[in-house]
Amino acid sequence: MRLARWLLILVLLAGGAGALWWRQVGRGPLAQAVAPVRGAVAEVVYATGVVEPERWAKVVPLNRKRIVDMCFCEGKQVKKGDELARLDDVEERAQLAEMQATRDKRQRDLERATSLAQRAAGTQTNVDQAQTALAEIEARIVAQKDRIDELVLRAPMDGVVLRRDGQIGEIVGQTDVLFWVGQPQPLRIVAEVNEEDILKVATGQTALLRNDALADARVEAKVGDITPKGDPQSKTFRVYLPLPADTRLRIGMSVEANIVVREKQNALVIPAEAVVGGAVFVVEDGRLRRRPVTLGVRGARMVEAAEGLSETDRVATPARADFRDGARVRLAPAP
C-alpha cells in the first residue's frame, strides 16, 4: 500500500514537471518580433584622442639638476630663445674658472717658449707642444661653456607657455617636462585607431566627437592626416582631426571620436542582434524560418538589410543559439 502511494506521488511529480517543460520550452524560445524599418544607418570606427596644438614642443632638462630660477610665464607669449628656467651651475662654473686659469698659464708657457726659440735658446718642438696644450684647453673651455648654457632652459619656438611644471628647489631630470610651449591655434585631435579598423578610415570622413564637458553639444571634425606607420606594441595608428577655430575644446582634453566610415539614408534596417551567421529568423505563423540576408551598412545597434527582407516581414530578436528553422517561438511583448 505504501509503495503504491509513493509510485502515485512520483507519477504526479513527473506529470507536473512535464507540463512545466511544455509550457516553458515545448512552445519554443522566447523572442520579440520586429519589423524592418526605413531610416538612416551609419558604420563608425571608435577612437580616443587628446586635443593638442598643431605646433608645440616640450622643454626638458638635459641634466639632473636643481632648479634655481623659473619664469612665471604660464599663459604668456614668449619668443624663441627666451629664458624660461635656470638649473644649478655652481659646479660647472667652478670648473670653468679652473680651466680659464689653466689656459692663462698655458698662454704664458707659449709666449715663453716662443721667446726662447727666437733667441735660439729653445726649440720649435717646445713651441709646437705649447701651442697644442693651449688649443686643447681652449677647446675644453668652449665645451664647458656649452654645458653651462644647457643648464638654461629656453623657449624652443615662438608661442605661448601652455603649461609650467616644477618649482624652484626641486631636482629634475631628463624625464621631467617643465614647460609646454606652442601656438594655441590651430588645434587638432590626435586619436588612436585600432589596426583592425584603420583600413576603413580615409581623409575627409566626418568624426563625431564627445567630451563630458560638452555632453549636450554636437561637435564634429574631419579626418586629416593618417600616420603611415602604426605602433606594433599598442596595435594602433594615429589619426589627426583638425578642429575649427571656434571650437570649445581646450588643449589637453580627452575626446571620444566616432569616425563615420559609411552611412546611408532611407535604408531598410533591423537590430544587429537579430543577425546570426549571415541570416535572420523570420516569424511566420508562430514558427521560426531561417532566411539568409545580405547586409549593407553595419551600425553598432542597427544594420542595413540590403537583400533578403521586406518591410512586411517580422524578425525574431535577439537571435539565440537554440533557434532552429521551423521551431515554434513564443513572442514577447514589445518593451
Return the pLDDT at 125: 86
Rounded to whole angstroms, the Cα distance separating 254 from 210 reads 9
Rounded to whole angstroms, the Cα distance separating 159 from 184 reads 8
Cell of 74: 604660464
How large is the average pLDDT for residues 211-233? 89
Residue with grid cell 664647458, as numbered in its chain: 144
Return the pLDDT at 18: 43
* Separation of CA 299 from chain center: 23
Is pLDDT at 23 greater than 70 in this prediction?
A: no
Query: Residues 241, 54: contact at Cβ < 8 Å?
Result: no
Return the pLDDT at 335: 60
Return the pLDDT at 3: 45
C-alpha dist (Å) from residue 217 to 184, 211, 287: 22, 9, 45
Rounded to whole angstroms, the maximal C-alpha distance in the chain is: 147
Is pLDDT at 46 greater than 90 in this prediction?
A: yes
Rounded to whole angstroms, the Cα distance separating 19 from 23 reads 6
One CATH from 3.90.800.10, 3.30.1540.10, 3.90.110.10, 2.40.30.170 for 45-55+186-263: 2.40.30.170
Q: What residues does each domain of the chain span?
A: 45-55+186-263, 61-88+151-181, 90-149
Same CATH fold assignment for domains 45-55+186-263 and 61-88+151-181: no
DSSP 61: -
- DSSP tally for the chain: helices H, then strands E: 3, 21
Return the pLDDT at 57: 94
Q: Map residue 49 onto helix, strand or coil.
A: strand
Alpha-carbon torsion (216, 205, 252, 163), positive or negative: negative
Return the pLDDT at 334: 60
Give the pLDDT confidence of 267-324 residue by residue, as tens digits.
888 888 888 888 888 888 888 889 899 888 888 888 888 888 888 888 888 888 788 8
Compute φ and ψ for 196, nearest 5 degrees. -75, -15
DSSP 234: T
Rounded to whole angstroms, the Cα distance separating 305 from 310 reads 9
> What architecture (CATH level 2) is domain 61-88+151-181?
Beta Barrel (2.40)
Alpha helices by DSSP H, the chain: 2-21, 90-118, 124-150
Give the pLDDT confidence of 81-98 residue by residue, as tens digits.
999 999 999 999 999 999
More confident residue, 14 or 41: 41
